Structure 1
């Protein structure tokens, strides 16, 4: 197995244990179970054939779309939203799996048809995936899926004129419904207004910006070397999940936070190197999975540091969320599988 991928993933999981321990000690045992499942997903992903997944990528995405539609009917979540299936001690969120299935499908399509082939069909599938997540409602994940899909189209070499035409058409279709959406799901506009309040130096405990101020307070209290897992963390909503980076820094210090950033940087550079070593659809899968893990991490950490509005997106391989841990473990496992495939191809070229 690729040592950089594997070691980076294991260390991030370890930092997650420290972050959850200092944030919510009572959740540590349950988080250990989730980490164990993430490791099993990592192992399973490393044993899977990415070529096999690419051949069946359309059906995987259609299955994911079915789950996204089903969760709107029988799913559950806080405050009346429907985002996940309750599976006893665990809850499964189909929108997390969509991040991987979307990457596999788009890579498969471009690999089979080429970058200059009409992309209306794939664009509709991306739009359908984003739309179903949007009405759960999960605005931040929907935007992330849209950006991930658009990035893969751009990096695959799809002509800009085609992307702009489809993007403009989609905007014209959605624009008439934006007011009704924001009126029904007020939390979206409230988060933006809370972020503006934070920029003005105003934040009440009931506002999302309060989380950011408390996260920054925890980071400052962490100091260079941290307070350790037994430290008394200031009141911080979602300290074990969305704001877990602040908990990690509080426990391990600024040095620990720098190590987390370094680990994601290593994942990005190693994933980019792997994408360049592979060709066609496999290279695009490597690039897409790398973007999923590292771009989402950048968004989460940017929120914690106060650079972005609060999104609710978890930190891959670190946050408490079970679905996020499971899917990010799977994504890392698939990168390990692709790294093994790259080594086999290189060995074959050297021997021939």
Structure 2
């Protein structure tokens, strides 16, 4: 196993335990169980060869699409949303799995067809994935999946003429339904309006920006070295999940927050280096999984400190949440296995 990836992942999991402890002490035992599941997923990702994932990537993503459709029919969640399957004490969110299977599918397609092949089929699959997540409703995750898919097409070297044509066609299809969607799911525009109020300095406790203001308060109260896991965190909705970065900083201080940022930066730099050393579709898998972990982390932290509108996207390997921990652990395990494959390629070439 790659020691740098392993150490980085373990440290982020520890920071997550501290954040959950200070935010919701009663959830610590359950979070420990989920961390154990994430470590098992990491081990599975590190053991299975990347070629196996790529060989079955299309089937895996079709299975994910089936789960996304099924959760709309049988799923549940707070406030009438349909995002989770509840199996006793275990809840599973298929949209989290889609972040990984999408990476494998697009990497497999480019590896088989090349980057100048028509991409209508993959674009339709990406659009179907985004659309199913969009109507759960989960606007932030749908937008993240769309961004991730677009970045993977660009990194794969797909010609811009194809990307622009697909983007324009998609916009023409979506535009007539945008008004209906925003009126049906008013929370999307409400969150954006709350963010604008915050930027104008007009936010108050009755607006969406209250969550961001409380997160900033917790970060300031953390001070240089933090209040420790026994400190009393100010009232902060979703302090153990979407806003866990604020809880981590409150417990460990600005120094701890800086360490979290450095760990994600290390993951990004390591992933870019790994991608450059790997051949063909494995290179795209490495970059895609790296972007999944670090881009989502940047989005979550950007929301917490007030740079972005509230999204509800978890912090990979840190936030409380079984699906997110499981999938991010799997992604890190695959990256560790790819690191071993890259080292093997180097040894083969040098010999």
Query: Once superposed, what is the RMSD of the aligned Cα atoms?
Result: 0.6
Q: CA deviation at 1:89?
A: 1.1
CA distance in 2, matches of 1:262, 1:169: 40
Distance of 1:255 and 1:152 partners within structure 2: 34
User: How far apart, CA to CA, are the structure 1 residues paired with 2:339 and 2:89?
Assistant: 34
Cα distance, 1:204 vs. partner? 3.1
Partner of 1:125: 125
- Cross-structure match for 1:266: 266
1:222 is matched with 222
Q: 2:329: which partner in 1? A: 329
- SS in structure 1 opposite 2:82? coil
Secondary structure in structure 2 of the residue aligned to 1:91? strand
Q: 1:165-314 residue pairs with structure 2 within 5 A?
A: 165-314=165-314
Q: Distance in 2 between matches of 1:43 and 1:216?
A: 36
Q: Give the TM-score of the pair, scaled to structure 1.
A: 0.99
Who is 2:28 aligned against? Answer: 28
Whole-Å separation in 1 of the counterparts to 2:203 and 2:326: 34
Per-residue deviation, residues 98-138 of structure 1 (Å, max 9, x unmatched): 00000000000001111100000000000000000000000
What is the TM-score with the length of structure 2 in the denominator? 0.99
Compute the displacement of 1:201 (Å).
1.7
Q: Secondary structure at the match of 1:317?
A: coil
Deviation track 1:296-321 (CA, whole Å, cap 9, x = no partner) reads 00000000010000000000000001
Unaligned runs of 5+ in 1: none
Once the two structures are TM-superposed, the CA of residue 55 in structure 1 deviates from its matched residue by 0.8
SS in 1 for 2:209: helix
List gaps (5 residues or longer) in structure 2. Answer: none
Question: Aligned with 1:181: secondary structure?
Answer: helix
* Greater Cα offset, 149-158 or 336-345: 336-345
How many angstroms does 1:206 deviate by? 3.7
**Where has structure 1 moved over 6 Å in runs of 4 or more?**
none
**C-alpha distance in structure 2 between counterparts of 1:208 and 1:279, whole Å:** 46
Q: CA deviation at 1:235?
A: 0.5
Aligned residues: 351
